[in-house]
Structure 1
């Protein structure tokens, strides 16, 4: 089975849904940001501060290319869609689920979260709007997350995957 990759803006619930969905599907759950932190020995905010966003994006692409294409659930960083190479890789190799969350809901969830380098900037709305179409173009399916718990979102994706696999098998 193709690996399931979760994309969406920061605060959309990718990491929370990842844990629940991986457990429900009895598959390994991986997070690209955690992989970057393990590989570099630095946190994402440290990489942004010391090396800048461009270096982080290079590390993100390198990490993505090494992630599994089958039998796994993977949460990606919110900016993974900024790179055309990343979007093309995702579309070509894995099943992509976009966790769509309104900016108002994200603002409510994140508040003053200091651990996200790009959330502290004033251009949040511009960043959100710039990425929206990239998420939509990359995704095989879109799941609305506003007002839903991570458990509800994971169950919705699980049912979607079961239906997709059944449809593919002609059952």
Structure 2
């Protein structure tokens, strides 16, 4: 555990946003360990709450109902502290979710489109990509969400070939650069 980073965040939650396939869950797990925080993945919690997989939820009740459940899960997580939370790629679409996200530090994990395509090719667990023109749709989703992702406190581009530990190191450095340390207690000299 990196004590200085732990103290730096002062218990504030760390929210990871970005497209599907960028590695939010992988990096989130590693960051939670580094910070001494607990890790949660909103998609995993949604599946537990709904007793169905994400593709089954999309098939049975559709994306709109999925987004409602997603918002409920986020609202129930956000009051807790010392959490690293990997969010679903579309969580940024609901303005109400931003109220919860802004209670913590928001990190946009960004992966260049060609790498994202490589990572997601043939993935059957991504309901929004189960179509013939999935590459074109992936590009559309990224472009339509980019402005929302850019509202994050930190933008971290995932570097090809970088290990999870190296990504963690870069994120810790960005957190240290971004977040001011607590003010020092000043003592007034006696008159």
TM-score (normalised: structure 1): 0.91
Structure 2: which 5+ runs fail to align? 1-10, 185-191
- Mapped contact 1:27–1:72 kept (Cα < 8 A): yes
2:149 aligned to which of 130, 135, 155 = 135
* 1:44 and 2:54 correspond: yes
**Any gaps of 5 or more consecutive residues in structure 1?**
none
Determine if contact 1:5/1:74 at 8 Å carries over to the other structure.
Answer: yes
Matches within 5 A, 1:10-159: 10-69=20-79, 70-91=81-102, 93-121=103-131, 122=133, 123-137=137-151, 139-147=152-160, 148-159=162-173
Aligned-partner SS, 1:98: strand
Matches of 1:154 and 1:109, distance apart in 2 = 20
Residue 3 (structure 2) aligns with = none
Larger displacement relative to structure 2 (139-148 or 120-129): 120-129
Q: Does the aligned pair in 2 maintain the 1:17–1:153 contact within 8 Å?
A: yes
Q: Distance in 1 between matches of 2:67 and 2:78?
A: 19
Provide the aligned C-alpha RMSD in A.
1.6
Residue aligned with 1:21, SS: helix
Per-residue deviation, residues 56-114 of structure 1 (Å, max 9, x unmatched): 000000001011342111100011011111123312x1110000111111011121101
Number of residue pairs matched by the alignment = 168
User: Match for residue 168 of structure 1?
Assistant: 181
Q: Is the 8 A contact 2:78 2:101 kept in 1?
A: no
